[in-house]
Structure 1
């Protein structure tokens, strides 16, 4: 019995050995045939172009001719929705190194140690081998073309806004913006240019959502407050500053519990943002400075916020009381020093709308009506006028006994401001807002001490 098993095992081993011998012989014969060939091995493609069986020169010629055919029409189209943008070969200096590609194709199965060459030849026979196109192009020009197309696609998002006409509020819908992701689009273009032309590529586009949606405004049903101040439109620099600042606080949504910062929205008052030099009070003196007039915008907003029953978080009075608002109802601002802030203390969104035209600043605050609150009054109480004192200054250049008024001085003021809330025609609450003191400035008289010679 053991004899029969051993005999059967020897027969199987012999059979497998014969098969292995024939397979190896065939493989080596095929490999030998590959080795002695001076042609590019079959199964090799450059891009999608077969070059197997060709010499290097024949492959080079075929690659060049094929490339010329491919660029007779635009080799690349970029698309977005229904739009198409062609990229011509001349636009990006598109070219091909046919000699290099032909040499790369020829080198398949001929480079490396014997085992690597044998393995590469075997894979080429059975699975094929593709040499990437690796087209040559001007990267800077490609970026410029892509950016130009991206600029054509780009659109700013537009927030939903309120329109107030004939005492009626209507909501204008928002609009989504679009922006081409240049980095991803250029990466996709690079991949295409290394793979196959002609090709059509979809632009990588990101949506830019608007900051305010229609649903954010849906609960707003009434005008909570409006306040207007006048300015001298003939003072061009000051008027321009007022216009810029007013525009920067137009169409602003403030959600419940949020704090509005005037400086955050208006930004720094610098020439690069269009601001001009105009008169401002600094340390009690009237001087020229960038952004003069912006305090009138913050003061107008302060009064609108008071009448809309907003919570005042930060407010500073001027050194001298300005003439454009009642005493004690101004709000001074200065870059990185003084800000005006208020909090939306209601349970609903509010919306700020502002405009500066001709010689008026008008600021509206919209929100949800409160039937329990029928009115608000701002009251200045305990007003006191502080008369300036007179200071005398000797002047050795002025004739003895003569007097000259050098500075008339300014009156000072004290005022306490309250917010009075009215419900059903009756005062329901009085809220302390601020105590302001504007110091008087001395009247200065020069007295002559010079003795004239006889």
Structure 2
């Protein structure tokens, strides 16, 4: 019983002291705030950005803000943008930067004087004990700022470039390292600048730049030490449109890296053969007829590549012969392509990456394949066998508009062929492998002759 009374008495005393402390604190706070209420100065601890205006009148604060703004903006740049060792400066005049000192001074004076009693007390407490900073509100020409940042970005931006092989001669090659791309994040840079302008009158910031690695880097080429296969075809350089198409397609596959186990797609690499990409109309076989078509001549590039791939001992994944055998490669050694329809594909089945260099010299198209050379590589030949000629049929058409006995050849017939193609590998003159590639049939084109059936006019009877 005695113990309980003692504990209760102690709790009562503690509560009494707490009430006294709260009363004194309240009286002190009320007294302090009463003193604040009678002053015509900005409460101490209030600042505009990093400009302290506490204890000043509105006019004094306005004058100080204007003075500091002038000092900081006239002596040097207000913005310094940096990227690595480079830097660019932007002055207040460049972006028409001005400050509304009168508005800021008024806002500073209103701290602790507006809102409900709780808000006013809270702002006054923060101003005294922690400081109360208002953001600097400046006005500037946003279009000019964006234009300046865009100009800076243009000087930094750089397209990535693949590492590439540079042949020095028929034996030696050189690896030209990749170029890492750069792209300024303009939206992020603008956010960085505007957020700083709301807190500082002069500042330095780092430009946000993304680095872009190219698809092919020097490490991808480090095991390639020489030429492993080459094939050359010729074309009529006087045919401007066809030459232009050959040049474009050749340029598309030039510098292509095919990694170990990767399948190369001619259509994916070259893209659509359309006028907007620079391709011209040139003769091409469509349904057996030689007619003008966009990208005519591109098949010479795919066929030249096909033969180089065969000599490099790579695996053929997809290949289609022409409707008629072209004249730039031996019969049975062509590979036709067509947008979204026919593709030429091969797979790198070697132990190292390979690299394609395709170039045009005058009227010659040369496709070279570089890779890791073997000490004693096999000799590789592509040969045709089982070749058969298919004779055309002659079709006779009677033509009543022609006189009897007259003949006109409407379509010149062409012979057809059936041919099988093999890849032969030899070591020290001995065949170690004979690989069947394809059996192609080029159908003959029938000869069409029109024969007249028109009877001669009868002479009048005398």
TM class by shorter chain equals over 0.9
**Pairs within 5 Å for 1:64-75:** 64-72=66-74, 73-75=76-78
- The partner residue of 1:172 within 162, 176, 181 is 176
**Pairs within 5 Å for 1:306-345:** 306-345=310-349
Match for residue 264 of structure 1?
A: 268
* Greater alpha carbon shift after TM alignment, 236-245 vs 206-215: 206-215
Q: How far did residue 223 of structure 1 move? A: 1.3
Structure 2 length normalisation: TM-score? 0.92
**Pairs within 5 Å for 1:35-434:** 35-72=37-74, 73-166=76-169, 167-371=171-375, 373-434=377-438
1:82-124 deviations in Å (ceiling 9; x for gaps) = 2111123343333333343233222211222111211111111
Change in 2 beyond 3 A, CA 1:453/1:91: farther
Q: How far did residue 4 of structure 1 move? A: 11
* Greater alpha carbon shift after TM alignment, 86-95 vs 428-437: 86-95
Change in 2 beyond 3 A, CA 1:319/1:62: same
What SS does the corresponding residue of 2:138 show, helix, strand or coil? Answer: coil
Query: Is 1:373–1:422's contact at 8 Å kept on the other side of the alignment?
Result: no
Gaps spanning 5+ residues in structure 1: where? none
* Greater alpha carbon shift after TM alignment, 247-256 vs 106-115: 106-115
Q: How far did residue 6 of structure 1 move? A: 9.6
Q: How far did residue 322 of structure 1 move? A: 0.6
Task: Provide the C-alpha distance between the structure 1 equivalents of 2:120 and 2:139, rounded to a whole number of angstroms.
Answer: 29
Change in 2 beyond 3 A, CA 1:36/1:442: same
What SS does the corresponding residue of 2:388 show, helix, strand or coil? Answer: strand
Task: Provide the C-alpha distance between the structure 2 equivalents of 1:89 and 1:338, rounded to a whole number of angstroms.
Answer: 62
* Greater alpha carbon shift after TM alignment, 287-296 vs 31-40: 31-40
* Greater alpha carbon shift after TM alignment, 77-86 vs 390-399: 390-399
Task: Provide the C-alpha distance between the structure 2 equivalents of 1:173 and 1:386, rounded to a whole number of angstroms.
Answer: 54
Q: How far did residue 131 of structure 1 move? A: 0.7
Query: Is 1:373–1:421's contact at 8 Å kept on the other side of the alignment?
Result: no
What SS does the corresponding residue of 2:26 show, helix, strand or coil? Answer: helix
Task: Provide the C-alpha distance between the structure 2 equivalents of 1:304 and 1:399, rounded to a whole number of angstroms.
Answer: 55
* Greater alpha carbon shift after TM alignment, 309-318 vs 118-127: 118-127
Task: Provide the C-alpha distance between the structure 2 equivalents of 1:188 and 1:277, rounded to a whole number of angstroms.
Answer: 52
Query: Is 1:372–1:424's contact at 8 Å kept on the other side of the alignment?
Result: no
Task: Provide the C-alpha distance between the structure 2 equivalents of 1:214 and 1:304, rounded to a whole number of angstroms.
Answer: 24
Q: How far did residue 17 of structure 1 move? A: 5.4
Task: Provide the C-alpha distance between the structure 1 equivalents of 2:132 and 2:241, rounded to a whole number of angstroms.
Answer: 73
Task: Provide the C-alpha distance between the structure 2 equivalents of 1:57 and 1:67, rounded to a whole number of angstroms.
Answer: 15
Root mean square deviation of aligned Cα: 2.4
Q: How far did residue 69 of structure 1 move? A: 3.0
- The partner residue of 2:33 within 27, 31, 40 is 31
Task: Provide the C-alpha distance between the structure 2 equivalents of 1:8 and 1:293, rounded to a whole number of angstroms.
Answer: 105
Task: Provide the C-alpha distance between the structure 1 equivalents of 2:292 and 2:235, rounded to a whole number of angstroms.
Answer: 17
What SS does the corresponding residue of 2:352 show, helix, strand or coil? Answer: coil
Task: Provide the C-alpha distance between the structure 2 equivalents of 1:19 and 1:86, rounded to a whole number of angstroms.
Answer: 57
Task: Provide the C-alpha distance between the structure 2 equivalents of 1:147 and 1:357, rounded to a whole number of angstroms.
Answer: 41
Query: Is 1:223–1:366's contact at 8 Å kept on the other side of the alignment?
Result: yes
Task: Provide the C-alpha distance between the structure 1 equivalents of 2:149 and 2:9, rounded to a whole number of angstroms.
Answer: 76
Gaps spanning 5+ residues in structure 2: where? none
What SS does the corresponding residue of 1:234 show, helix, strand or coil? Answer: coil
Query: Is 1:147–1:182's contact at 8 Å kept on the other side of the alignment?
Result: yes
What SS does the corresponding residue of 1:445 show, helix, strand or coil? Answer: strand
Query: Is 1:316–1:331's contact at 8 Å kept on the other side of the alignment?
Result: yes
Structure 1 length normalisation: TM-score? 0.93
Q: How far did residue 136 of structure 1 move? A: 2.7
Q: How far did residue 39 of structure 1 move? A: 2.8
